[in-house]
Amino acid sequence: MNRRKFLSKSAKGMILGAVSAGMVMSAKSASKVYGANERVNLALMGCGGRGELVGRGFAEDGVEIKYVSDAHSGRMDKMATLLTELQGRTPKKIKDIRTALDDKDIDAVAVVTPHHWHALPTIQSVQAGKDVYLEKPPSLTIWEGRKMIEAARKYDRIVQVGAQNRSAPYVHAARDYIKNGKLGDIHLVKVFNMKPNASFHRRGEPFHLGEPETPPKELDWDLWLGGAPSRPYYPTIFNNYGWTAFWDFSTGDIDDALHQIDIALFLMGEPTPEAVASSGGRLHFKNDDAQAPDIQVCSFDFKNFVMTLEMSGYPTYMRKTTTTIRQNDEFPYWTQNATRIELYGSKELMILGRMGGGWVTMTSGGKIVEKMYGRVPDALHRQNFIECLKSRKRPYGDLEIVNNSMNVAHLSNIAYRTGNQKLYFDSVKGRFINNDKANGMLQRTYRKKYAVADKV
């Protein structure tokens, strides 16, 4: 075994040892903590594609899902059937998550809804004394994030955001490598989210919203809209994540880039940005109805380094790390990896892939100095949440920590939406310096019955 392989295996062994010793727990060790009389009881809000994955995962971890909630009854039915098969008990189907919050046996709520429905149920859940597993992005606005943190701290609740890479052993090993000074001084970090995407379309043709339709009888459209402005039903918005094209419901594709942003800030010691500049637009898909840009390049000023974010939605040759690579001792082809992070140290360059992509460090001529393979961290992240329910320790994806990364994403969008300009941000006050237009985007206007209250 050569030195590089030995070091890589040793680093992996050390970090996995920390995992088994309590850093995060395996499903088997979790079952020892929670015996038959201490089963974690969970309510699941959101039964769509990601909701199904999260619900299945918790059920396989031994968590009892007692309630499923969704504005679409068909999705609830499907989720209830799946959970019945997995856990041997049928969950109750409810449209209003507050029904589950009144149940004293419920320990936690998993919020896996469209982005515009993240803040309100999280705040209501912690107010009811429940812990929360919250999928990303944690908030739709900077103000929402501050209110959510305020509520979580006031009611002393655990809120774990789905920033799964924070539970990945290879990411922790990369941070230790940097802390030990092996990269040298780092003054430039590059984040990429260069995925192939598509025009906002229907059946393969460019599609403008056209005439609205009547919502299907299975869907409570008003409930699905929640705090967003009222609008007629369009199937292309509701289906296949079409809602991610609109600011009323989503943070746009930067939601996906949040994984890489969060890893970068984790590796750099959780710094807060002082300024952001943006360039971009809807440049390739010019004749559709999407609001989020298909090209966006942002730069962020931190105290001792600059971070760039490059996003695109059209190059078909850019690809995420494949499942095969994520589950085996392989690396992506870095040049065309769509979701990578590059850290430029004075001694070495580190390239890291998210969600199991692993990392390498290099010097001149592409010579690899060190490397570590990765694995998908979803299960470890759920188990970290389960353990924190018992220990009451802050989880790896604690809302307050991940919110700093979310604010970077919000800053990107606001800089873009205010005309691709440079903005200066006071992270302590949570406001832009001398820019009323940007400050006007810190908070959204809610429909009254779905509003997040100023006093939480």
> DSSP string covering 354-383, please?
TTTTEEEEE-GGG-EEEEE-----HHHHHH
Find the radius of gyration of the CA atoms of the chain.
Answer: 22
Burial class (CB in 10 A: 0-12, 13-18, 19+), 196: middle
What secondary structure does DSSP assign to 47-88, as a single string?
-SHHHHHHHHHHHHTT-EEEEEE-SBHHHHHHHHHHHHHHHS
CA 269, CA 397: separation in Å to the nearest integer? 14
pLDDT tens for residues 218-251? 999 999 999 999 999 988 888 878 888 899 999 9
DSSP string of 95-125? SSTHHHHT-TT--EEEE-S-GGGSHHHHHHH
Tell me the domain boundaries of the chain. 1-20+169-376+401-456, 21-165+379-400
Mind listing the pLDDT tens digit for each residue in 122-175?
999 999 999 999 999 999 999 999 999 999 999 999 999 999 999 999 999 999
Burial 130-143 (b: 16+ CB within 10 A, else e): bbbbbbbbbbbbbb
Query: Per the omega criterion (within 30 degrees of 0), is the bond before 137 cis?
Result: yes
Locus of tokens 């695109």: 312
Q: How far is CA 107 from the centre of its chain?
A: 22
User: For the purposes of burial, counting CB atoms within 10 Å of the CB of 289, is it exposed (0-12), middle (13-18) or buried (19 or more)?
Assistant: buried
Q: Is this model's pTM higher than 0.95 or not? A: no
- What is the structure's pLDDT at 140? 96
User: Considering only CA atoms, which of 284, 288, 283 is closest in space to residue 205?
Assistant: 288
The mean of the pLDDT values for the chain is 89
Q: What pLDDT digit, counting tens, does each position of 265-284 carry?
A: 999 999 999 999 999 998 88
| Cα–Cα distance list, 362 to 170, 261, 265 (Å) | 17, 21, 21
Task: Give the per-residue pLDDT at 239.
Answer: 82
Say if residues 234 and 212 touch (Cβ distance below 8 Å).
yes
Question: For residues 311 and 193, is the Cβ–Cβ distance under 8 A?
Answer: yes
Reply yes or no on domain 1-20+169-376+401-456 having CATH 3.50.50.60.
no
Backbone angles phi, psi at 203, to 5 degrees: 50, 40
CB-hemisphere CA count at 13 Å for 73? 6
pLDDT of residue 286: 77
Structure tokens at 432: 């832009």
Integer Cα distance of 105 and 388 in angstroms: 18
pLDDT of amino acid 215: 94
Decide the pairing of beta strands 368-372 and 358-362: antiparallel
**pLDDT value of residue 292:** 87
Per cent of the chain over pLDDT 90 is 78
Predicted local confidence at residue 341, as pLDDT? 98
Tell me how far apart the alpha carbons of residues 68 and 97 are, in angstroms, rounded to a whole number.
8
Q: Which residues of the chain have pLDDT under 70?
A: 1-37, 198-210
Q: What is the CATH number of domain 21-165+379-400?
A: 3.40.50.720
